[in-house]
A and B are shown apart, each in its own frame.
Chain A
Amino acid sequence: MSKHAVTHTPDTENLKLGICLAGIQISVFFTFVLYCAFHTYPTPLTLDNGIPAPLLFGLLVIGCGTALTILYVQLTNRQENRDA
C-alpha cells in the first residue's frame, strides 16, 4: 500500500513554549472551575458594576485559549520558516 506523503521534516515544535502555554491554559481553566465550584466569587451578585465576575472570568477563559493558540502558532510557524 502506498502511504501518502510522509513529511520527515525536522521537529521545530517548541516544546518549552508548548508546555508553558498548556500549563497556563490548564491553570486558567481549573482556576475558573474551582472559582465556580467553591463559590469564591463576590457575593451578592449585582449588575450595578457592569457584567458580573463569573461571566467575565468565563469570557476570559475563552479569550485566553484563543490568544495562547494564536501566540503559539505564530511563534512556532515563524520559527519553522526561519529553520527551513
Chain B
Amino acid sequence: MLNKRLHLLIAALPLPALAQAPGNTGVSSISITCFLAVIALTLGITYWAARRTKSASDFYNAGGQISGFQNGLAIAGDAMSAGALLGLTALVFNSGFDGLVYAIGYTTGLPVVVFLMAGKMRRLGKYTFVDVVCSRLEGKSIRVFSASASLSIVLFYLVAQMVGAGQLIQLLFGIDYLYAIVLVGILMVFYVAFGGMMATTWVQIIKAVLMISTCLLMSFLVLRSVGFSFHQLLVDAVGVHPKGLGILAPNSLPSNPASGISLGIALMLGTAGLPHVLMRFFTVRDARAARTSVLWATVVMNAFYAMIFILGFGALYLLRQDGSFLDAAGNLVGGGNTAALHLAQVLGGEPLFGFLSAVAFATILAVVAGLTISGASAISHDVYGALAPKHRDSEKHEMRIMKVAVLTLGAIAIVLGLVFKNQNIAYMISLAFSISCSSTFPVLILAMYWDRLTARGAVWGGSVGLVSSLVLTVLGPSVWVKALGFASPVITLDPPALITVPLAFVLCIVASLLSKQQAPALQKTFG
C-alpha cells in the first residue's frame, strides 16, 4: 500500500484519459498555445545558452556561474515534479492525510544535504559527486562503481519519467504516445547537447517559477472559496468525504509501520544521494553559494509542499462538492491522478487548466534534461575518464564524448520509453530512491566524515547496497506481486531501505577495517 502510494507521488504520472477539461470536445486551444509557448521559450533558452557554452566546465556545471538563488530555484525545480503536484493532490483527494505524509517526507532530505554535505562538496569544485568520492579515494574501481551507481539511478529515473511523460503529453495534448516520447527525447537531447548545464538549469528555473506561481494562485483561489480559513476548508472536506474525520488521520502507516519507517529513510536519505541533485552544487562559484542555493531550494520547495495541504484538501472539497468531475462509481473522470487539473478547471476555467497543463509539460522537459546531463556526465567524465585516462587532458575530446553520451542516452531513453510503454514503470522510481540511499549516500557521507574508509570498503559497501536494494525491491510487493503477478511478495518491506541502508554502512566499515589498504587522509581532502 505504502509503495503504491509512493509510486503515485514520484513517478511522472501515467494518467488515464484527460485530454480535455470536462465538457469540451477537443484538446483545449489554450493548452496547445501554452504547449507551443513552452517549446519556443525553452528552445530560445537553449540557443542563448549554447552561445555561452564553450568549455567542458561550461558544459558540466555552467562554468560555476549560476548564482545561489538561481541554483536554489533549479534544485527546487528538480524536486517539484509533475508527479509531485498531480500525484500528491490526487492522494489527498482520495484519502486525505496519507498523501501529506509523502509531501512532508520530501521536505526532509535537503536540510540534511546542507548540514552535512553541500559546502564540503562544492569546496572540492569538480563536476560530479563521483569526483568528490574520488578526491578522497583512489583507484579505477571506486570511480567505476560510483559512476555505475549514478547511471543506474539516473536510468531508472529517466525511463520512468519518459514513459510517464509520453502518457501525460498524449493525454493532455492529444499527441500519439510514439510521437510524444520522440518529441520529449529530441527536445531533451537538444537542450543538453547544445546548451549543456546552462540551458538545463534555466529550463529548470523557468519551470520552477511557473510551478510555484501557479500553485500560489490556485492556493489563493481555494482559500478564497472558503473565506480564507484552512480550518473551514477541513470542515468542508470532512463533510463531503465518505470517510469523514478519517481523512484527517494517517491510515497507511499504522497498517505496516516497518514499511513506513523504511519509506521515511528512503525519502530523506534518497534525496541526499540523487546524482542530478548533487551535481547542481557544482554550478555555483563557491561553498557559500552552494549553501545559499540549498536555503532557497528549501524555502521554495517546502512552500510548494505546504501548499499541497491546501490544494489537496481544496480538490477533495471542491471536486466532490461539484460532482461533475466524478463518475457513477465516485471516481474522478479521467483517472485518479487528475485532481489538480480538474481543480484548475474549477478555479480558473479553461485558461488555468491550459496553463497548468503547459506547466506540467515544462516540468517534464526540465526533469528529463536534468537527468540526461547527469547521466551523460557519468558516462563521459566518470566512466570514460576512468577507462581511457590518456584522453582525460583533452577538453575537446571529453566534450565530444559528452555529446555522444547525450545522444546515446537520449536514444536509449526513447527506446526504453517505447518498450516499457504498457509496463508498471513506477517501481523504477522506487528503485532509484532505494539505490540512492543505499549506495551513493553511504559512500559519500563516509568519504566525507570517516577517516578510515578505504576504496575497497566503499566499493564493497556501495555495491552490496546497490544490488541488495535492487533485489529486495524486485522481491517486494511492487514488482513481485504487481508487476510479475505472484500471489504474495517474498519480502513485505517496501521500500527495503530499512535493511539496505544499514547493510551498506556496515559493509563499508567492515571491509575498510579488514582492508590492508591505507585509508587516505580525510583531513587533507575535506579539511
Contacts and interface: CB of A to CB of B under 8 A. Distances in A.
A28 B473 CA distance: 27
Given A4-B125, A25-B108, A77-B292, A69 B248 contact: no
Contact of A29 (B108, B253, B526): B108
A76 B291 contact: yes
A33 B261 contact: yes
B51 interface: no
Residues of A contacting B: mostly: helix
Given A9-B286, A12-B119, A65-B298, 10 more contacts: A1-B394, A6-B125, A33-B101, A33-B260, A33-B261, A36-B253, A36-B260, A45-B246, A65-B302, A73-B295
A17 to B, nearest CB: 8
Given A11-B527, A37-B261, A65 B230 contact: no
Interface string B278-291: 00000001111001
Contacts of B257: 34, 37-38
A51 B122 CA distance: 41
Contact of A13 (B64, B119, B264): B119
Contacts of A22: 111-112, 115-116
Nearest to B244: A45
Contacts of A51: 230-231, 234
A6 B100 CA distance: 41
What interface size band does chain B fall in? Answer: 35 or more
B306 A59 contact: yes
B190 interface: no
B287 A39 contact: no
11 contacts: A5-B285, A11-B119, A12-B119, A18-B116, A29-B105, A39-B254, A41-B249, A58-B97, A58-B100, A62-B302, A70-B295
Contacts of A63: 302
A6 B306 CA distance: 37
List 5 tightest A-B contacts by C-beta distance, closest first: A11-B527, A4-B57, A6-B125, A37-B257, A36-B250
A58 B264 CA distance: 13
A59 B285 contact: no
Contacts of A43: 249
A6 B126 CA distance: 7
Contacts of B309: 55, 58-59
Contacts of B127: 4
A6 B492 CA distance: 46
Contact of B298 (A41, A45, A66): A66
Nearest to A46: B245
Given A4-B61, A59-B306, A66-B299, A9 B260 contact: no
Given A47-B231, A50-B231, A73-B292, A21 B115 contact: yes
Interface string B20-64: 000000000000000000000000000000000001110011011
A39 B100 CA distance: 16
Given A2-B56, A54-B250, A59-B309, A11 B107 contact: no
Contacts of B64: 4-5
Interface in B209-268: 230-231, 234-235, 238, 245-246, 248-250, 253-254, 257, 260-261, 264, 268
A9 B287 contact: yes
Of the listed residues A17, A58, A73, the one surrounded by the most CB atoms of chain B closer than 10 A to its CB is A73
B418 interface: no
A55 B230 CA distance: 11
A1 to B, nearest CB: 4
B99 to A, nearest CB: 11
B126 A69 contact: no
B455 to A, nearest CB: 22
Given A21-B115, A69-B294, A52 B249 contact: yes
Contacts of A69: 110-111, 114, 294-295, 298-299
B116 A19 contact: yes
B114 A55 contact: no
Interface in B79-126: 97, 100-101, 103-105, 107-108, 110-112, 114-116, 119-120, 122-126
B393 interface: yes
B325 interface: no
Interface string B318-359: 000000000000000000000000000000000000000000
Contacts of B100: 55, 58
Contacts of A36: 101, 250, 253-254, 260
B101 to A, nearest CB: 6
A53 B123 CA distance: 42
